[in-house]
Chain A
Amino acid sequence: SQTIHQWPATLVQPVGSPLSLECTVEGTSNPNLYWYRQAAGRGLQLLFYSVGIGQISSEVPQNLSASRPQDRQFILSSKKLLLSDSGFYLCAWSVLQDNSPLHFGNGTRLTVT
């Protein structure tokens, strides 16, 4: 069966510090991979998605970036965090079919202080 791992679960970082969140998927090949952010009391905002190694599409211009160095690994990064980067970050995967739901990791709660 397929599983998705996302870490860390919680993170407190000062403004201006770098960020690296990692997500890995097991049990499937060539998944679509996604990074979403959810600000407190708000909906899910799609940040990045990837349909293959090295293929990253950005949905919202900001100080975040994403990379996919391996088929089942997706990394979200920032060189300098802003206060507005605080939120609940969710990694998700799906297969390339219309009726394939997104499967989410447990999320990372990031607080920028």
Chain B
Amino acid sequence: GQNIDQPTEMTATEGAIVQINCTYQTSGFNGLFWYQQHAGEAPTFLSYNVLDGLEEKGRFSSFLSRSKGYSYLLLKELQMKDSASYLCAPILNDYKLSFGAGTTVTVRA
């Protein structure tokens, strides 16, 4: 089975950095995705990690530790448009994604 934990809400100010942690327990693991979902819209792909370490993509970075069942998404230089829900999604053996409940990030001026 799978058990995915991430904080429900986080608040930060414009220009700051926020780190969203995700822990997971899955019966099989083939990597992990992070998605961004604005209110009322479909999720959009942000990042993918399969090996331990940090993947950087502009203002967004994602880290994975397979042995610890742990990942985080780092958002730097926060902008108002970054206010959204961020979903952690481990990949199971048979290519199914399980999604966490998401972390709602609110960016304040």
Contact = CB atoms under 8 A, between A and B. Distances in A.
Contact of B101 (A43, A46, A100, A105): A43
A15 interface: no
Interface in B1-58: 30-31, 33, 40-45, 48, 50
A90 B98 contact: no
Contacts, number: 51
B76 to A, nearest CB: 22
Contact size range, B: 20 to 34
10 nearest interchain CB pairs?
A43-B101, A104-B42, A44-B99, A101-B45, A98-B30, A107-B42, A43-B99, A99-B48, A104-B43, A106-B42
A90 B95 contact: no
Given A44-B43, A104-B43, 14 more contacts: A36-B99, A43-B101, A44-B87, A44-B99, A51-B95, A90-B42, A90-B43, A94-B95, A98-B31, A98-B91, A99-B50, A102-B45, A102-B89, A104-B42
Contacts of B43: 44, 90, 102, 104
